[in-house]
Amino acid sequence: MTHKNEFEVQEKLPAKSVTRRSFLKGATAISAAASVAWATKSTASAQQDFSEEEKLVASIIDLNACDGCENEPTPLCVTACKDKNKHRFPQPEEEPMDYWPRQHHEDWSKEQDRTDRLTPYNWTYVEQVTVNHNGQEKTISIPRRCMHCLDAPCQNLCPFGVIGKTEEGAVHIDEYFCMGGAKCRDSCPWDIPQRQAGVGVYMDLMPKLGGGGVMYKCDMCADYLKEGKAPACETACPKDAIQFGPLDEMRKKAYELASERNGYVYGDTENAGTLTFYISDIPFDQINEAIAASKHQDQDERPGRPHMEPDIENMLDTAKGFMLATLIAPVAGAAAAGVNAYRKLKSYDDTKIRKDVSYDE
């Protein structure tokens, strides 16, 4: 989204074809509604699903255009993100305690100025790697941050249900109620959310025994989106390498650009679909290898420098057969009970079982 107006006056979207996703969504919604009456967006009619999907905002990150702001000390998207969100950055009041009984804790408060990775104080960064493609060495700058997944495992698996999603699809962590267990980071294929110890609700509960801090990550400038404004990273980018807009429009444009350049798209199918589409002339498996090599060279094993593994699966996708089984289980239980009870009613007489009992008077 290069202009504010694109959000204010959305173009009428083209008639929607039934994609695999929309089909699955509709089918699942029907089964869900049939089984449990619950008020979610999913159980609404297909028409409502479509209108809700129309509100989703996606982004294109053009790796051909991004040069990592080579003449700036820090990429401008990174600076803009830090400036915009600095009032939300964690400020531990005292030295954070270890995560008992472990002898460690995650504390980035002394490295608040770091811009070379994702931290609780840096929600986007630009990874720079050199790739040998078609016999030519090429340096690529890759702005990284939360991909804002369509089926976000971090949101679905948060044990306290404190990760939300806006109408625009921005996945956001409630920093006031997050316990900092870091499950969201572990369930995210890219380890995006980063933890700061010594802050958050656990400090008021059992800071020594339970809780680990608060998880932080990009929220797609959800407040700006609500106001119809562009996210800070897009506004700051001098190369128009970052562009936000309606999901369908962005997806279409990403594939068109990739097709024109004989390039590749990353983020549309990964983790069962995201709202971020990277486009590149260089295959993403090569970029992924280059990131891994760079991390290996730096002996960097900490989370905060995500991979770009193509076609990475959503961990919840493996559980897809279980919904049907969960719905069948009570039906099977009821059927078994019916058969057994009927059989007993026909033939069972408990007095026969006690025929040997001699009652005392």
We find the least distance from the C-beta atom of residue 125 to another protein, in angstroms, to be 26
What are 244's strand-pairing partners? 59
We find the least distance from the C-beta atom of residue 198 to another protein, in angstroms, to be 16
Question: Between 2 and 28, whose beta carbon lies closer to another protein?
Answer: 28
The span from the CA of 169 to the CA of 340, in Å, is 49
We find the least distance from the C-beta atom of residue 216 to another protein, in angstroms, to be 18
Residues 79-108 touching another protein, rule: CB under 8 A, are 99, 101-102
Binding to another protein by CB under 8 A, coded x per residue (else -) over 166-195, reads: ---------------x-x--xx--------
In sequence order, the 6+-apart residues with CB closer than 8 A to the CB of 8 are: 228
Is the sign of the CA dihedral 179, 222, 250, 232 positive or negative? negative
The span from the CA of 162 to the CA of 353, in Å, is 55
- Residue 353 interacts with another protein (CB under 8 A)? yes
The answer to whether 236 and 80 are in contact (CB under 8 A) is: yes
Could you tell me which of 256, 248, 173, 250 has the C-alpha nearest to residue 217?
173
We find the least distance from the C-beta atom of residue 166 to another protein, in angstroms, to be 9
Question: Between 312 and 316, whose beta carbon lies closer to another protein?
Answer: 316
We find the least distance from the C-beta atom of residue 4 to another protein, in angstroms, to be 27
Please identify which residue in 79, 235, 243, 314 interacts with another protein, judged by CB under 8 A: 314
Could you tell me which of 201, 250, 240, 229 has the C-alpha nearest to residue 84?
229
Bridge-based pairing state of the strands 57-62 and 276-280: parallel
- Specify the stretch interacting with another protein by CB under 8 A; choose among 109-117, 119-127, 245-253, 345-353: 345-353
We find the least distance from the C-beta atom of residue 158 to another protein, in angstroms, to be 7
Can you give the C-alpha Rg of the chain in angstroms?
Answer: 26
- Residue 16 interacts with another protein (CB under 8 A)? no
Tell me the residue type at 189: P
Bridge-based pairing state of the strands 136-144 and 125-133: antiparallel
Residues 105-124 touching another protein, rule: CB under 8 A, are none
Tell me the residue type at 56: L
Binding to another protein by CB under 8 A, coded x per residue (else -) over 35-54, reads: xx-xxxxx------------
Residues 125-164 touching another protein, rule: CB under 8 A, are 150-151, 155-164
Task: Count CB atoms within 10 A of the CB of residue 114.
Answer: 14
Residues 232-291 touching another protein, rule: CB under 8 A, are 272
- Residue 301 interacts with another protein (CB under 8 A)? no
